[in-house]
Chains A and B, each alone.
Chain A
């Protein structure tokens, strides 16, 4: 059983502030690390697929970094807005087709 942990489980952010949170995963047999954004009453949507150690991806005010040697990825939200409120899921992919999801970090941005 692969252990994919996300922390914190939830966080409250004031509008305009920046924040970040962590996904940790096995450092061996790494293939890819996925980030998804899951808004209430909607389906999870892919944010990033990261494959290389040191990878950095950016989409608007959201960015992510990857360290495969130590087994962690950070997701950053710059200048948080209320529409950023969602659960952010990371998923680890070893060889094969399966993703193992973390428990998610629920972000609530307060105006």
Chain B
């Protein structure tokens, strides 16, 4: 069966510090991978998605970047965090087509 892991679960970082959130998927190959953010009081906003190694599409201009160094690994990064980067970050995977997306446990990021 497929599983998706995210870490860390919670993170408190000062403004201006770097960020690296990692997501890995097991039990499937060549998944589509996604990073979402839920800011306070809002729904899920798609940040990045990837259909293959090294292929990243950015949905919104922002302070963040994503990379996919391996088939089942998706990394969300920032060189310098802003206060507005605080939120709940979810990684998800899906097969191609109409299938649903499966979400990881999420990372709660607080930037102080």
Contacts and interface: CB of A to CB of B under 8 A. Distances in A.
Interface of A: 6, 31-32, 34, 36, 42-46, 49, 51, 89, 91, 93, 97-104
B36 to A, nearest CB: 8
Interface of B: 32, 36, 42-46, 49, 51, 59, 90, 94, 96, 98-106
9 contacts: A6-B43, A34-B101, A43-B105, A46-B100, A49-B99, A89-B44, A98-B49, A99-B46, A101-B46
A88 to B, nearest CB: 11
A105 B98 CA distance: 23
Nearest to A102: B43
A36 B45 CA distance: 14
The 10 closest A-B pairs by CB, nearest first: A46-B100, A103-B43, A43-B103, A101-B44, A44-B103, A101-B43, A32-B98, A104-B43, A97-B32, A49-B100
A49 B98 contact: yes
A59 B112 CA distance: 42
